[in-house]
Chains A and B, each alone.
Chain A
Amino acid sequence: KNQVEQSPQSLIILEGKNCTLQCNYTVSPFSNLRWYKQDTGRGPVSLTIMTFSENTKSNGRYTATLDADTKQSSLHITASQLSDSASYICVVSGDSGGGADGLTFGKGTHLIIQP
């Protein structure tokens, strides 16, 4: 069964500090990996999307890495801001073979930035 595991489950850091969120997956066959940010009471918003050939992708202060061999990804947030407080969801796309998008969602990491 396809699975996406994220760690830590929750994280509290001080404003201005860096942090790294982890994602391990067992999705086969693999198509691409995405990171989404979900603010409380809102829908997920895409941060990055990477295929197996992309090791690193940045979006402002967010940098995602992908190791397709070990099936691991990380999301690094630099110089955190209060607005970074949100849930971060790792999503892996596989070939469902039936027309569906084949997305498997992690449970998310709940990040709290304290002033």
Chain B
Amino acid sequence: NAGVTQTPKFQVLKTGQSMTLQCAQDMNHEYMSWYRQDPGMGLRLIHYSVGAGITDQGEVPNGYNVSRSTTEDFPLRLLSAAPSQTSVYFCASSYSTGYTEAFFGQGTRLTVV
């Protein structure tokens, strides 16, 4: 039972490079989301999706794009990496919003130099 799988676990980018963080879940969850975790701060919502074909912005969406072509996958794209995007990124999924448990991936540690 894989749950939420994120790849890669670690990544170093140069400023201006682009990349895609992968997220896949095998629990048939409708709701998926991306968060970033920075030292001394709580997790902050970047983008979320309530189902295939539907995405929306969270609290800190600038510099990131998402798409949701299938229920299982929710990739996060960095368009032109900046040092301010150095962070740990977590993908999460849940059956719905509200009183329902959210499952998190193991995270991707991204460093932009």
Q: List A residues at the B interface (Cβ < 8 Å).
A: 4, 31-32, 34, 41-46, 49, 51, 89, 93, 98-108
Contacts and interface: CB of A to CB of B under 8 A. Distances in A.
B41 A41 contact: no
Nearest to B97: A101
Contacts, number: 64
B53 interface: no
Interface residues of B, number: 26
B45 A32 contact: no
27 contacts: A31-B98, A31-B99, A32-B99, A34-B102, A42-B106, A42-B107, A43-B90, A43-B104, A43-B105, A43-B106, A46-B101, A46-B102, A49-B99, A51-B99, A89-B42, A99-B48, A99-B50, A99-B97, A100-B48, A100-B58, A101-B45, A101-B97, A104-B42, A105-B44, A106-B42, A107-B41, A107-B42
Nearest to B106: A43
A93 B92 CA distance: 15
Contact of B45 (A89, A93, A103, A108): A103
A101 B41 CA distance: 18
